[in-house]
A and B are shown apart, each in its own frame.
Chain A
Amino acid sequence: MARGRSPRVRRRAFTAGLTALAATLLARRPPAFAQGRAEWSALPDAAPLSSQFPPKGNWWGSVGPRAILGAWNGRAWDETGETARLFGYGGHTDYGGNEVYRWRPGEGFQRLNDPNPLDGAVREGKGVPVDANGNPVARARSVHTYSGQVYVDGVIHRLGGSPAWPGGFLNSHWKLDVATLEHTDAGPVARARQGAWRRVGPGRQAADRPCAP
């Protein structure tokens, strides 16, 4: 109890408290502002994503196609053509559609094809793409893509992701030809040999070789 302490001890405790508070506040955010200011603005796009959603089907999931942007998803960016493509987004329980969208500044979104029907409702633990007769087809499932979609020379590479359904993680590499919208299963990617990369985790970084700032 502070009441029984000497004035010197109380001053020290007060000073230590102030120091700790200042350290906490300073650590909260980077302290300095860069010169100048940034600005966010809305682009005058013609068509939002929601205007291009497909009709409801057994691919719908617990969220529906709003999960394409709302769930754990990135996009494939064609830097030269300044075009974004979204290939089989949704994932897990959220949405099972594997359709493809294109987005360009000023134009907005365009859905390029329809989702494959699935072997059953995502909510019922299904998720295998099938044809009109219910037979499985070699088409990619909808996944949470995280940062795993990359556009290179007319092809979208989709690596890994958490599928609808059952979640978890795919060790897959799918390719999408953006001209034909054909899917190609390029095989697993997780059984790579160990290279020079090192685990980074609490207590481990000091043992690894540091790099220059």
Chain B
Amino acid sequence: MWDPVAKRLIAHVHPDKGTIVDLATGPQQSFDVAGWGASMMYALDADGRRLVNLALSSKRWRLVVYDLDDQGVPVGHRVVPLDGFKNPKAGRTIAFDPASRRFILWADGVFAFDGSTVTEIEVARSVPSVEGRTGNGVYNRFSWASSLRGFVTLIDPDEGGVLLRLP
């Protein structure tokens, strides 16, 4: 992902290996993470001070929360277990919501993470492609669109985009 504060890329480019890439000087530092393909869901807050990884490891879902200092260097982390996310059928991704300043998890439901607590958001109306979605996750194919005041995603090759509006 792009870190707009520290002006750098953060990427998970190898099983169990993430790399921070500085566009000017190349790779800067690496970090070890749990799992690989299924764990490569990340979101960074608007201040560039908190990076959250939605991770699957040992068949268990969890959030790995990294706090970053003002230089973008991680100063600690903690793990938030997601015991209800063992087999999410839909979405399986995370993004930052600039409107509410929370992280939004889409994984067999919609959830908000404020940095300490995960709270489910009730969904009043859905669409077939969201309900029928199974499998491999949408990764960063779930993004905030200011003009639409919601998150847009692309799911079904035979349909157009899908919008999620939060309360």
- A residues near B (Cβ < 8 Å) are 27-30, 32-50, 53, 65-66, 68-75, 77, 79, 82, 84, 103, 105, 108, 144-152, 157, 159-160, 162, 169, 171, 173, 187, 189-202, 205, 208-213
Contact = CB atoms under 8 A, between A and B. Distances in A.
Contacts of A32: 119-120
A66 B18 CA distance: 28
14 contacts: A30-B118, A30-B120, A39-B123, A41-B127, A43-B152, A49-B158, A147-B139, A152-B23, A159-B21, A160-B14, A189-B11, A198-B74, A200-B32, A209-B77
B43 to A, nearest CB: 9
A67 B164 CA distance: 23
Given A33-B120, A41-B125, A105-B161, A197 B136 contact: no
Contacts, number: 275
Contact of B160 (A48, A72, A157, A195): A48
A69 B129 CA distance: 12
A50 B109 contact: no
Main secondary structure of the interface of A (DSSP, over half): loop
A73 B58 CA distance: 22
B160 A159 contact: no
Contacts of B165: 38-39, 41
Contacts of B164: 38-40
Contacts of B147: 82, 105
Given A33-B119, A79-B144, A199-B32, A171 B78 contact: no
Contact of A49 (B20, B116, B130, B157): B157
A173 to B, nearest CB: 7
B41 A200 contact: no
Interface string B129-159: 1100001111111011111100010111111
